[in-house]
Amino acid sequence: MLERLPECSWSKLRKLDLHNANLAGQLPVWIGNLTNLSYLDISWNMLVGHVPFGMGNMRSLSYLDLSQNRLVGSLSSGIGNMRSLSYLDLSQNRLVGSLPSGIGNMRSLSYLDLSQNMLAGDVPRGLGALSNLTYFSLGLNNFSGVLSKDHFADLTEGHFGSCDMGPQFPAWLRWQTGIRILDISNTRINDVLPHWKFWVVVSIASSLDLSRNQHSGGLPANLELPFIEEMDLSRNSFTGKLRANIITSPLKNLLLYNNNFTGPIPEYLYDKIYVQVPSGDQQGCLSKETWRRRDMRFFFRLAQLFLNPFLLFLFLLPF
């Protein structure tokens, strides 16, 4: 389809949207000649091959989405010439190699998604110069090295699932006080939550995923997360009691299983849309009076989580 564009139209074209257009084959080398293009979306197609080096000449581009294709190879240093870009999505391809240091020259970037590729190496410190960057996703790559406050300015969304960030808890998060969505799941962290009051830093977050690590310690006595809707603390090593004063009204999904919590489960958690309780000493810790007030749907759900048919039988016995 791209080859059907008449050459005389190249200099006039400002926007090209071929999202989910069933395109196949490689990106043409001459695409770099579209120097006045400001918007290019070729996502959700079946494009293969490398990202043409000439794309670095497209200095008027402010929006570029090549996600959900089968692009391979490494990113060229020419990408740093695209200094007008505010939105760049290269996720869900098969890109390899390290990030070029020139990515720090793209000072207009506010959205950067590189997730679900095979990128590796250290994350360039030049990212810290991207003062407008608010959305950043690196998840499901093979990056190594240590991330620090020098890499980020003021993120509102950070997606780092399956990046190697451990074993210490990432100290740079203490400066991300505007974070609203944070995913640091499966990042090889083996540490207690830090003394600099992690829960205060994420107090305006709506989604937190700390799952599949080795976080330890207990939850604070007063946990105020007034905007949280989803929180996944599952598959860690948290201990202690679940506090009855977790202040969060919009909570919909709370996952706590495969930890070492003890004591009773606060009753207000039963009414949440989807709650999974821990798999430790939490079983059987509720009184008969509490059970009498619970509906049958919760009985079945809890018994399913414990994977214990005998427990379900006991629930159904008359008190």
Residue-wise pLDDT for 184-241, tens only, equals 999 999 999 887 788 989 999 999 999 999 999 988 877 888 899 999 999 999 998 8
Neighbours of 286 (CB within 10 A): 15
Q: Which amino acid is at 229?
A: E
Alpha helices, H only, 88-219: 198-201
CA angle 146, 151, 153 (to 5 degrees): 140
* 306 pLDDT above the threshold of 70: no
Q: What is the pTM of this model?
A: 0.78
Long-range contacts of 18-23 (CB under 8 A, 24+ apart): 18/42, 18/45, 19/43, 19/44, 19/65, 20/44, 20/45, 21/45, 22/46, 23/47
Q: What is the mean pLDDT of residues 142-163?
A: 80
Strands (E), 104-215: 111-113, 118-122, 135-137, 142-144, 157-159, 181-183, 207-209
Residue-wise pLDDT for 76-106, tens only, equals 888 889 999 999 999 999 999 999 888 888 9
Which residues are within 8 A (CB) of 166 and not within 5 positions of it... i.e. 6 or more apart?
A: 187, 188, 189, 190, 191, 213
Least confident among 14-28, 57-71, 148-162:
148-162
> Which domains occur in the chain, in start order?
2-316 (3.80.10.10)
